[in-house]
Amino acid sequence: MLLEVLLAALVGALLFLVVNKWRKPEVLKTEDGWWGFGDGPDGQEDTTIRPFQLSTSDSELEDLHKRLDQTRPVPSLHNSQFHYGFNSEHLQKVISYWRNDFDWKKQVEKINQFPHFTTNIEGLDVHYVHVKPPVVPEGTRVIPLIMVHGWPGSFYEFYGIIPLLTQPSQPGHFVFEVVCPSIPGYGFSEAPHHKGFDSVCAARIFHKLMKRLGFSHFYAQGGDWGWLVTTNMPGLLLTLSMLLGKCFPKLFSFTPMDLEHLYPAAEKLVVEPLLETGYMHIQATKPDTVGRALNDSPVGLAAYILEKFSTWTSKDFRNLQDGGLTRKFSLDDLLTNVMIYWTAGCITSSMRFYKENLNQGLNKPHSRIPVVVPTGFACFPNELMHTPELWVRQKYRRLVSFTPMPRGGHFAAMEEPQLMAEDIKKFIKLVESQIKNR
């Protein structure tokens, strides 16, 4: 009986593959939107590109310090580490550093070291960092690359990798011109004023941004929203691979890394995600409620954001009193990301992005459309959800490279900029050689 079930399952998988191979590719359809004030534009769209510099007044910093001074600590349970969330005793140490030692004005200078701009698209002032290579040796190609952050990150995640991409490695090769926008509602991009702004709308706005900058063809890198929402979708082959993959790993091309991260399934695919996805349910249902509290409390905001930089970097950090925060990141960089949320007042609008994307469930029509452009996938071992190559190929039909990374978690660009930069260069080198050999 078991053999018959397995044979039926395999025949079903084969039919699934055959049908999808010959099915005409669907095309994502999207229409222009209006997300600014009012019902629509009053006149012609303003396509001006304006320089932007971050600044913070003394009164804003005084208000922050007053709120930090008036926090009401709550004692943590004995021996709880980060299992109940951000450990309160360690949070007091972070607050003390933030209040007394953290130099925000110095970090503002660091943020402003790269050129920032804003431009209005579909009624929203969109912020972005635009870094051109300082030197382009003769014979070196300049390749445009847009890099998109996720939650609770920001454009600042890419500050470690930008120099690695914009500095030419060898004459005659290529170097990158990097654009790092803030998703509308995040950082210094204006928040949408109407309901319905989801990941498709953000993609359309960023495509318009790149066209406005003069790029008809470009490469794109993204994690978090770009991967979590559109790639990790259930389907027949995915289900079969989960049911049969442990017994027949070669059938689904499962590697030892896949087996390690996928089984036992009950713990790693059910229990573990439940421990780390409570925030998602809140933000996908009632973001404005908790958002108002976090927008008023810098301590609450820091706890909410920095806890993710602990457990999403490594689940083992839950066992540490300090959450392992400074094992992979500096406290200055972590607090700089928090300060971007605080000074921009964008935590609520950033959380609304979950409701707009998930209010109809993950299985939206666009999530079922395969990606047919050349794609590279970097598989970091401490990512929240492990994705075997088989699953990636169901979404990305022209997978050029799949790289099992030796280390790294959810905030890979910030945690392991060297590894990510090398993988980006490897992927683009492969694609460019394919184009050249056509």
Residues with catalytic roles: 224, 354, 410
Rg (CA), the chain: 23
Amino acid at 413: A
From the list 404, 348, 399, the residue with the least C-alpha distance to 381 is 404
Measured distance CA(200)–CA(179) in Å, rounded: 19
The 3-state secondary structure of the chain reads CHHHHHHHHHHHHHHHHHHHHHCCCCCCCCCCCCCCCCCCCCCCCCCCEEEECCCCCHHHHHHHHHHHHCCCCCCCCCCCCCECECCHHHHHHHHHHHHHCCCHHHHHHHHCCCCEEEEEECCEEEEEEEECCCCCCCCCEEEEEEEECCCCCCHHHHCCCHHHHHCCCCCCCEEEEEEEECCCCCCCCCCCCCCCCCHHHHHHHHHHHHHHCCCCCCEEEECCHHHHCCCCCCCHHHHHHHHHCCCCHHHHCCCHHHHHHHCCHHHHHHHHHHHHCHHHHHHHHCHHHHHHHHHHCHHHHHHHHHHHHHHCCCHHHHHCCCCCHHHHCCHHHHHHHHHHHHHHCCHHHHHHHHHHHHCCCCCCHHHHCCECCCEEEEECCCCCCCCCHHHHHHHECCEEEEEECCCCCCCHHHHCHHHHHHHHHHHHHHHHHHHHCC
Q: Which pair of structure tokens corresponds to residue 246? A: 């442990």
Contact (CB, 8 A) for 336 and 369: no
From the list 109, 260, 125, 101, the residue with the least C-alpha distance to 190 is 125
Amino acid at 108: V
End-to-end Cα, the chain, rounded Å: 50
Do the strands 124-131 and 116-121 form a parallel or antiparallel pair, or are they unpaired? antiparallel
